[in-house]
Chain A
Amino acid sequence: ETGVTQTPRHLVMGMTNKKSLKCEQHLGHNAMYWYKQSAKKPLELMFVYSLEERVENNSVPSRFSPECPNSSHLFLHLHTLQPEDSALYLCASSFLPGLDDTGELFFGEGSRLTVL
């Protein structure tokens, strides 16, 4: 199995829909991340879970709701999104960054979201 798997790879939704993005990691990592990648903008960190607790929430609108039921799974629940939310959503995992580990991120292939 690949290290970090994201589903679906592509998603088209209307502004009133509710959908979820799923991420699964098989690397034994203890931190998981959601990033947003928009055209011509640097990657934006949305959420971080460390040992299944949310440790970062970078002023993300409440229409994005993360869930981390265990250390291997991460979800991003989407509700009443706007067209400007169309982007590539990348999930990543890592060991906890610190003196013993560089904490390099391992990414999935992303979920390409289009909001109509």
Chain B
Amino acid sequence: AQKITQTQPGMFVQEKEAVTLDCTYDTSDPSYGLFWYKQPSSGEMIFLIYQGSYDQQNATEGRYSLNFQKARKSANLVISASQLGDSAMYFCAMREGDSNYQLIWGAGTKLIIKP
């Protein structure tokens, strides 16, 4: 079974609208961390936001927030007021345990912001 599932291969969103990128995960480890990365066409993966499994509040970083629903094993990324520069691939990833080097990656969602 897939441990990280991103169900949206691609999305088109109008500039200035909010967008939600879906991510569901599967783990039996009580301690885990969830990451979102952005990959523009240049290739570099850019860290956006992190949510720990024990964090009580949803993580926020500027225009990015993570809608963490632990019981549903869901960690959706919300981008508010989308900009043309937000067009990129977005990846969800999970680390199981506290010190595991391995990140489990989703297949990604290609987001295109329309002017």
- Chain B residues 82-115 with CB under 8 Å of chain A are 91, 93, 95, 98-108
**Which of B99, B103, B106 is the one whose CB lies under 8 Å from A45?**
B103
- Chain A residues 30-52 with CB under 8 Å of chain B are 31, 33, 40-43, 45, 48, 50
Asked if B30 lies at the interface with its beta carbon under 8 angstroms from chain A, I say no
We find that the number of chain B residues with CB closer than 8 angstroms to chain A is 26
Name, among B98, B99, B101, the residue most crowded by chain A CB atoms within 10 Å (CB to CB).
Answer: B101
Once A42-B106, A42-B107, A110-B44 are accepted as A-B contacts, the answer to whether A104 and B50 lie under 8 Å apart by CB is: yes
Are A43 and B47 in contact, with the CB atoms below 8 A? no
Name, among B4, B37, B52, the residue most crowded by chain A CB atoms within 10 Å (CB to CB).
Answer: B37
**Which of A42, A56, A98, A112 is the one whose CB lies under 8 Å from B99?**
A98
Once A43-B105, A102-B33, A102-B50 are accepted as A-B contacts, the answer to whether A97 and B44 lie under 8 Å apart by CB is: no
- Chain B residues 42-84 with CB under 8 Å of chain A are 42-47, 50, 52
Q: Which of A18-26, A64-72, A77-85, A88-96 contacts the other chain?
A: A88-96
Are A102 and B43 in contact, with the CB atoms below 8 A? no
Are A107 and B44 in contact, with the CB atoms below 8 A? yes
Cα–Cα distance between A38 and B92 once the two chains are bound (Å): 16
Closest to B44 in A: A109
Are B42 and A109 in contact, with the CB atoms below 8 A? yes
A interface residue numbers (CB < 8 A to B):
31, 33, 40-43, 45, 48, 50, 55-56, 88, 90, 92, 96-99, 102-110, 112
